[in-house]
Amino acid sequence: MKTSRLARETAKVGRNSEVFTNRKPRSFAASINAFAAGDSGSFTVKQDDDGDDSSSLSSLDSTGPFDIEDAPPFIKTAPQKRKHGISTPATTVTEASRFKLEIITPPRKAGINPEEKSPAKIKKGRKQPARKVVDHDSGKATIHPPANWEEIYGLVQEMRKKTLAPVDTMGCESLAEDHLSPRDKRFQTLIALMLSSQTKDTTTAIAMKRLQTELPPPHHFSLEGILAVPADTLNNLIYAVGFHNNKTRYIKATALLLQSNFNSDIPDTIEGLISLPGVGPKMAYLCMSAAWGRDEGIGVDVHVHRITNLWGWQKTNQPEETRAALEAWLPRDKWHEINHLLVGFGQTICLPVGRKCGECTLSTKGLCPGAVVQKKATVRRKRVKVEKKEEEEEVTEEVEEEVVVVKEEDG
């Protein structure tokens, strides 16, 4: 079969292209230097001697003036191997202008400021609980307070002044509307305390705001408004708080009892407040203090119970036991203040999980028996390397030492 003219021309071009594929490439750096120096006349293209003269590709004029478009493409060379023991600074190419590379070496990593003070050392204090002393002559028992309680109390007051806690702005005592009558303000304070059980202060404040703004007129958020609102609507308004279904029933039942048994006002005795559904001793004592201005007991919640036991003031299992132990020696003028003080302290520094003992003055002064102290323990580990050389076996032992920080917490 005859070969077409197109096939013959294609084969001829393929044979002539070997002149370029076999040619050794020019150095890119030499070409650029020649062009930058302006010596365009000396720039020539070298061709092999075995090229086909009849080829149209071999008849290129290589002696003419150099054009930047004729420069060979950038050829990546193999990276040089880095010699051992020589540190080469990392470089970053930031700009390429007229084939001149501007190279900037990044600054070294800033070191530790030598003037920076080391953190304060945490010291674990010794428990000094309240002591019961019996007079042998009269047989009368007297409770002596913890020896360092006034120092601890004063330092906690100083720490509380420096940090704002959620209870300072969203505590139950501050959630009632100011423009209401005294009776309605007392009622809102009672409802806020009922909502706060097993609920954070921020969530309680949100639920109270919804009640104050979304309960329908004409009564809005008052005893009459709670009596008139359907239970489903009330449940939706307090949906964010914990155990909202139970609290809805408690609030509706409490409203009925207040209307029938207490002249549409909240009780002014501890016994009367505890008789209401969902109201315990802690709520009753706090409500008496906030609503009626009478300090008849200490409102002990989880923060007061936990922190005072950490300090070693007493060893109790239940909040009511803690209340009785504290009331036996704590001055009466601090019965209302201690709840607000320790709740905020427990929300900011002495957290239930992850106590910030490094930020607590009591820990640095060695006054807190429950401080978390870091102890260093050295652990020795062996790493064995085996190197085989023909039939011999060489064993190399390397011993590493690691420092493990062990946190010791008071149980």
pLDDT tens track for 176-191: 999 999 999 999 999 9
* % of the chain residues with pLDDT over 90: 54
pTM of the model: 0.63
Whether 286 contacts 194, CB under 8 Å: no
Catalytic residue among 282, 334, 365, 388: 282
3-state class (DSSP) for residue 326 = helix
User: What residue type is assigned to position 99 of the chain?
Assistant: F
Kindly state the tokens that stand for 75: 């050829």
Whether 211 contacts 221, CB under 8 Å: yes
Whether 223 contacts 188, CB under 8 Å: no
Given this model, what pLDDT does residue 373 score?
Answer: 77
Would you report the helix, strand and coil content of the chain in percent, each value rounded to 5?
Answer: 40, 15, 45
Continuous H helices in 126-181: 149-162, 166-170
Is pLDDT at 252 greater than 60 in this prediction? Answer: yes
Provide the angle, in degrees to the nearest 10, between the axes of the packed helices 319-327 and 281-291: 50
Cα dihedral 208, 213, 217, 218, rounded to 10, equals 70
Lowest mean pLDDT among 134-148, 213-227, 366-380: 366-380
Mean pLDDT value across residues 155-175: 93
* 14 closest CA partner among 60, 46, 72, 55: 55
- To which H or E segment does residue 178 belong? none
Whether 189 contacts 287, CB under 8 Å: yes
Tens of pLDDT along 271-307?
Answer: 999 999 999 999 999 999 999 999 999 999 999 999 9
Given this model, what pLDDT does residue 134 score?
Answer: 87
282 is known as an active-site residue = yes
Whether 307 contacts 123, CB under 8 Å: no
Kindly state the tokens that stand for 232: 């489903």
Residue 25 pLDDT class (50, 70, 90 cuts): low
Mean pLDDT value across residues 242-259: 96
Given this model, what pLDDT does residue 122 score?
Answer: 81
- Residue 370: CB atoms within 10 Å: 21
- To which H or E segment does residue 379 belong? strand 373-389
Sort 361 into a burial class: Cβ within 10 Å, 0-12 / 13-18 / 19+. Answer: middle
From CA 294, how far away is CA 152, in angstroms rounded?
Answer: 26
* 248 closest CA partner among 229, 265, 222: 229
* φ, ψ (nearest 5 deg) of residue 398: -125, 130
- Which contacts of 9-12 are long-range, i.e. CB under 8 A and separated by 24 or more positions? 12/55
Dihedral of alpha carbons 334, 336, 340, 345, sign: positive
Kindly state the tokens that stand for 361: 């003055």
